[in-house]
Structure 1
Amino acid sequence: MKKFLYWMLLCLPLLSWAESGRVDIARFSQSDLSGWQTKVFAGKTHYVLKNNDGKIVLHADSKAAASGLYREIKIDLGKTPILNWSWKVDNILVGNNERTKAGDDYPVRVYVVFSGGLAFWRTRAINYVWSNRQPVGSSWPNAFTSNARMIAVESGSKRIDQWVSERRNVHDDYRLLFGEEPPHQVDAVAIMTDTDNTGGAATAWYGDIWFSEQ
């Protein structure tokens, strides 16, 4: 079992709250890492809060390593289906086929996890990634498990070293990727910068993450 399978075996019973149609997942700009836990797969990606472009963000540095941060938090998709975040990459990985196990590395990715509860085989995940060559908007099954789907929300080197803001309707993405209505709630969100399969290196930055009504 590798990468996504570890997320999928989590039983996720934790926090849930919303204020004014917004649910904060990551408040890195407030120097807040509370609630975030580490999962190491193969070597350790180093995550640390730093000042970048005048704001506090999370810096990720990965060298032939794969570890991620995750937060267990229940999100009602009926109320707040829109996932918002920002990220920046200093480089992309080059030459890897991300549809294969040997190439399943990304400078940045944001996971949304839906727990299957006792039926753990029903646990699913959407991975929003910055691809090296898959077209923006394209999707494909994860190389290690069919229960995870990848979506390229950014691709290539054109926007390297730029802060990019993203918005995704998780409810609609789940329905498109898995061909059915999503569970009522999200159970966890995770981030990972990983380079273990390719043996490469990547540095990247993550801004705040939250769910909203619109």
Structure 2
Amino acid sequence: MLPSLSSPTTCRAMAVWLKISLITALLPCSGIALAEVDRIDVGNFSEGQLDQWNTKVFTGKTDYALVPDDGRQVLRADSRASASGLYREIAIDLKQTPLLNWSWKVNDLLTGNNERHKAGDDYPARLYVVFSGGLRFWRTRAINYVWSSNQPAGSEWPNAFTSNARMIAVRGSRGLQDQWVQEQRDVLADYRRLFGEDPGEIAAVALMTDTDNTGLSARAWYGDIWFSAAPEAGD
């Protein structure tokens, strides 16, 4: 816990300053002990667990609901010219569990938007990993893993609102709509490449389906989310 940053006024000021983040303003205001384990579950949607996730609304409210799909329970997101997301405050030590695992599906892509500009910063699906700056809240950073509508898979670029957040198009602008896709990212390696240094601890994970800038509609589904240890050499 960092008392000097725990006041509502400080947190709100941080939120305005770092507009793009769902939870950047809240992260340095909490502290959670790290566990020495090989797997850390973040989103257990298949077990109907959503109570540890909080809502952050920017423009309108994206509807999130647990629903059955493909023989399991998942989180469905419906956005209609709206931008709100879910976040969970959780401390992750990437030296222990650097691999982020999740699955997702989108029904369609957005059209007519340039995701590299503020007016086009909408995504049918995105997953945030947010790193606490500690007392130096201005160093709070985020990696956005996105399902891009117009950038090819593998593209990387600074967020349209701040250089403290970087975007990675895990899935690109062609194909795979209405198909579940399982993902795994080495977040530690991604952070080192994007920011040129080692990260602090992860403070939170967030997800969002947003269409407020384009005024369009999007539907996405999110499966379970967890961090895991890297395999031993020779495994």
Class of the TM-score when normalised by the shorter of the 2 chains: over 0.9
Q: 2:179 pairs with 140, 146, 162, which one?
A: 162
Q: Is the 8 A contact 1:91 1:157 kept in 2?
A: no
Equivalent position of 2:24 in the other structure: 8
Amino acid at match of 2:127: V
Structure 1 stretches of 4+ moved >3 Å: 14-20
Give the number of equivalent residue pairs.
Answer: 213
CA distance in 1, matches of 2:53, 2:21: 19
Amino acid at match of 1:96: N
Answer with 1 or 2: which has the greater Rg: 2
Percentage of pairs with the same residue: 63
C-alpha distance after superposition, 1:136-163 (max 9, x if no partner): 1110000011100000000124000000
Give the TM-score of the pair, scaled to structure 1.
Answer: 0.95
Amino acid at match of 1:46: D
Equivalent position of 1:207 in the other structure: 223
C-alpha distance after superposition, 1:114-148 (max 9, x if no partner): 01122110000000000012111110000011100
Q: What SS does structure 1 have at the residue aligned with 2:175?
A: coil
Equivalent position of 1:78 in the other structure: 95
Is there any run of 5+ residues in structure 1 with no aligned partner, and where? none
Q: 1:101 pairs with 113, 118, 122, which one?
A: 118
Give the TM-score of the pair, scaled to structure 2.
Answer: 0.87
Q: 1:142 pairs with 156, 159, 174, which one?
A: 159
Q: 1:124 pairs with 141, 153, 177, which one?
A: 141
Deviates more, 1:187-196 or 1:149-158: 149-158
Deviation at 1:16, TM superposition (A): 4.5
CA distance in 1, matches of 2:82, 2:138: 27
CA distance in 1, matches of 2:19, 2:73: 28
1:111 lines up with 2:128 in the alignment: yes
Q: Is the 8 A contact 1:114 1:187 kept in 2?
A: yes
CA distance in 1, matches of 2:29, 2:103: 25
Is there any run of 5+ residues in structure 2 with no aligned partner, and where? 1-15, 231-235
Equivalent position of 1:31 in the other structure: 48
Give the structure, 1 or 2, with the largest relative contact order (CA under 8 Å, sep 6 or more).
1
C-alpha distance after superposition, 1:86-136 (max 9, x if no partner): 000011111210000000000000000001122110000000000012111
Amino acid at match of 1:54: G
Q: What SS does structure 2 have at the residue aligned with 1:207?
A: strand
Q: Cα RMSD between the aligned structures?
A: 1.4
